[in-house]
Amino acid sequence: MTTLAKIAASATSAAPATTATLAPATTLATPAPITSIATLDIRLPHTSYSILIGGGILREGLRRAFAGRPAKIAAVVSDENVWALHGGSLASALRELGIECHAEIIAPGERSKSLASLETLYSSFFRAGLRRDSPVIAFGGGVTGDLAGFAAATYMRGTPLIQIPTTLLAQVDSSVGGKVAVNLGEGKNLVGSFYQPSIVIADTDLLSTLPPREIRAGLAEVIKYAAIGCEGLLPLLERAPLSGIAGVARGAGKAREEGEAHMESRASAAGCIGGTGGASETGETGATEQPGELERLDRPDMPAQSDGPDTLGGPDGRDRLGEIVRLCCAGKASYVERDERDTGDRMMLNFGHTFGHAIEKLFSYKTYNHGEAVSIGMMMAVRAGELMGATDPAAAGALGRLLDSAGLCGYRESFDMERLIPLMSGDKKNASGGGISLVLLKKFGSPFAARASQQELAELFRREVRL
């Protein structure tokens, strides 16, 4: 770990760099035709599992997930939005396999990632008759995956976990690698574990119903992988305008209305027993904050993109989106295999996250979603490195161009760093030796670990705040 004082003296003393056609919105009645399935394997000393990636692969993925399993009951944890759109398809696929589905539906958002929600899941699992061999299926985005994953890790001292991520952010990042957790009022992901899934099923057709804001949040994590040197990703991102990926959300409004109208009847017909809303009212974290002069990342003014051959929403967009997911997952798999417990190289995946988690907490998880906060956090980290003389000035331009292409942006001069920096001191990644752990860039694609005190960071950002 490099301290700021050492960085100022010699940036070379830092740790070595680590390099490493979308279908229309899926309806509940007719699954999209399956495409080829890309398979990545994660091999760890104590376990191994596969990541399946492709369009329309939900049923085939579940068939593989349950092959050879004695269990005939599974718990599904999903949020209200995902279940309204895709719950019937999942329950139907499980019924075809002879699996009884018990659904627990939570409220969307970080407030559901709480100890109270966790207790609700435990009680629900017990009432449903789940045993140690009964899988828990996380069917949703990062919040659902974290909450359901920690429930699976701890209920009866561990039950099988199947991750089916339904957001871009979860498909490229949070569903892979075994980090599961809930939040406390004092900070994000402070109670958790490392618990690997038995399989990850990344069906890219499930992304077709995401609103553009959620697509952009996922693109922030994609850009993170490019910034830390994920092999093959940067040329792909530069070749296709990132804003074109928002085309996958077209038709989502109609699909959402259909899903909400038929959620209860279709899920029931598919044989899914469900507690809806059991964890919906829990998990308020922190006090309300107003954004003030902080610039919002929700960009309804972004122009619509044409579905031409050079956009991710074009005729070959399904395959190209799958390739983006594959490259990000391959990059993460490489880090996880080398450092499962996040004590060395895997820390590079936290680029932008120490700042980002503090931003989420500062605004009580209400103003910025995770991807938006990370996009700001990455620019903060690059600027901090520049002010210390450790980061090539060209890195900010490279990162900024990708964020602009994705419809993401930075922050204004009035950002209150004096309130933000103390929140960073409670981040779980900070070592007991003191200081705030950061991931900075020597240059774009070349990350390294550093440590700074609150006072050092405050002094840096007093000199210059605007990015």
Q: Do residues 13 and 74 both lie within one domain?
A: no
What is the domain-level CATH number for residue 268?
A: 3.40.50.1970
Phi, psi of 323 (to 5 degrees): -70, -40
**pLDDT over 70 at 79, yes or no:** yes
Distance CA 139, CA 235 (A): 31
Q: Do residues 246 and 366 both lie within one domain?
A: no
pLDDT, tens digit (0-9, with 9 covering 90-100), for 314-356: 445 667 889 999 999 999 999 999 999 988 999 999 999 999 9
Q: Do residues 13 and 83 both lie within one domain?
A: no
- Residue 306 within a domain: no
pLDDT, tens digit (0-9, with 9 covering 90-100), for 158-182: 999 999 999 999 999 999 999 999 9
Per-residue confidence band for 50, with pLDDT thresholds at 50, 70 and 90: very high
Percent of the chain with pLDDT over 70: 72
Q: Do residues 203 and 74 both lie within one domain?
A: yes
pLDDT, tens digit (0-9, with 9 covering 90-100), for 207-230: 999 999 999 999 999 999 999 999
pLDDT on residue 239: 82
Name the DSSP class of 315: T
**Residue 276: exposure state from Cβ atoms within 10 A (0-12, 13-18, ≥19):** middle
Contact status, residue 100 vs residue 131, Cβ threshold 8 Å: no
Name the DSSP class of 101: E
- Residue 166 within a domain: yes
Q: Is 275 left (phi over 0), alpha (psi -120 to 50) or beta?
A: beta
Phi, psi of 53 (to 5 degrees): -130, 130
Q: Do residues 250 and 294 both lie within one domain?
A: no
CA 285 centroid distance within chain? 19
Q: Would the CA dihedral through 53, 59, 60, 64 be positive or negative? A: positive
**Among 279-293, 417-431, 435-449, which stretch is predicted with the lowest mean pLDDT?**
279-293
**pLDDT over 50 at 447, yes or no:** yes
Structural domain that includes position 406: 2-20+289-300+343-463
- Residue 293 within a domain: yes
Q: Do residues 220 and 100 both lie within one domain?
A: yes
pLDDT on residue 260: 41
Q: Do residues 295 and 194 both lie within one domain?
A: no
pTM above 0.85, yes or no: no
Distance CA 251, CA 183 (A): 34
Q: Write out 241-291 in H/E/C secondary structure.
A: CHHHHHHHHCCHHHHHHHHHHHHHHHHHHCCEEEEECCCCCCCCCCCCCCC
Residue 243 CA: distances (Å) to CA of 222, 247, 312: 13, 8, 8
Contact status, residue 39 vs residue 323, Cβ threshold 8 Å: no
- Residue 305 within a domain: no
- Residue 216 within a domain: yes
- Side chain identity at residue 334, one-letter code: S
| Token pair recorded at residue 382 | 């690059």
What is the domain-level CATH number for residue 381?
A: 1.20.1090.10
Distance CA 267, CA 263 (A): 6
Q: Do residues 177 and 65 both lie within one domain?
A: yes
Distance CA 163, CA 180 (A): 11
Q: Do residues 49 and 7 both lie within one domain?
A: no
**Residue 410: exposure state from Cβ atoms within 10 A (0-12, 13-18, ≥19):** buried
CA 336 centroid distance within chain? 15
Per-residue confidence band for 1, with pLDDT thresholds at 50, 70 and 90: low
- Residue 413 within a domain: yes
pLDDT on residue 227: 97
Nearest to 210, CA basis, from 22, 442, 466, 25: 25
Q: How many domains does the chain have?
A: 2
Average pLDDT, the chain: 80
Nearest to 428, CA basis, from 348, 342, 351: 342
Q: Do residues 263 and 380 both lie within one domain?
A: no
Distance CA 393, CA 402 (A): 15
pLDDT on residue 425: 85
pLDDT on residue 442: 97
In the chain, DSSP finds a helix count (H) and a strand count (E) of 15, 13
pLDDT, tens digit (0-9, with 9 covering 90-100), for 354-383: 999 999 889 888 889 999 999 999 999 999
Q: Do residues 152 and 256 both lie within one domain?
A: yes
Q: Do residues 221 and 295 both lie within one domain?
A: no
- Residue 10 within a domain: yes
pLDDT on residue 262: 40
Distance CA 298, CA 89 (A): 30
